[in-house]
Structure 1
């Protein structure tokens, strides 16, 4: 986690900053999952990139990549009702 102070150096955020997260509905786990899925979407679902960036297992990277690719697919158009065309 970074904030506007820790973004300028390589230290962790403070204890108080973490305690402030407790009031939010998002957990650190949800934020981590969201960040990894967002990266998968941004790279078109490249599992190798996810392994390198997040140091996650190949299996997890493939799962994120598959989910991203499914989300990136255009939704199929339902066929037109033939009765309306006649």
Structure 2
């Protein structure tokens, strides 16, 4: 639950989150920090990890957090159908943004498959 809203997780995200929580319990069994993401510095207090800690793994990569967020939202629209209400609920998007993602997904779903020069798809 985020901001009093239930956010369903896909299977991969759920699996990774459970693995992280298992690791976290073993690594810092006595922490009082309620944040999902903690490290050796924040485990002894109650502060969140810094933005630098969260984004450090993405340095030098082709994608950034914004691109990953956009890709995830579009993937959700492709996987569950171009439903702006679903997107707004899952990601907390405003209606115009949810409609834009749904329209993009609809365009992709209606586009014919690309074919190679020999006619194979």
What is the TM-score with the length of structure 1 in the denominator?
0.71
Match for residue 24 of structure 1? 61
Runs of at least 5 residues in structure 2 that lack an aligned partner in the other structure: 1-12, 25-34, 40-52, 114-121
TM-score normalised over the length of structure 2: 0.52
Unaligned runs of 5+ in 1: 77-86
Structure-2 residue corresponding to 1:5: 20
- Which one has the bigger helix percentage? 1
Higher relative CO (CA 8 A, sep ≥ 6), structure 1 or 2?
A: 1
The number of equivalent residue pairs is 75
Picking from 68, 73, 78, the partner of 2:105 is 68
How much does 1:12 deviate?
Answer: 2.0
Larger Rg: 1
CA contact (8 A) 1:6 1:13 kept: no
Q: Which residue of the partner structure matches residue 57 of structure 1?
A: 94
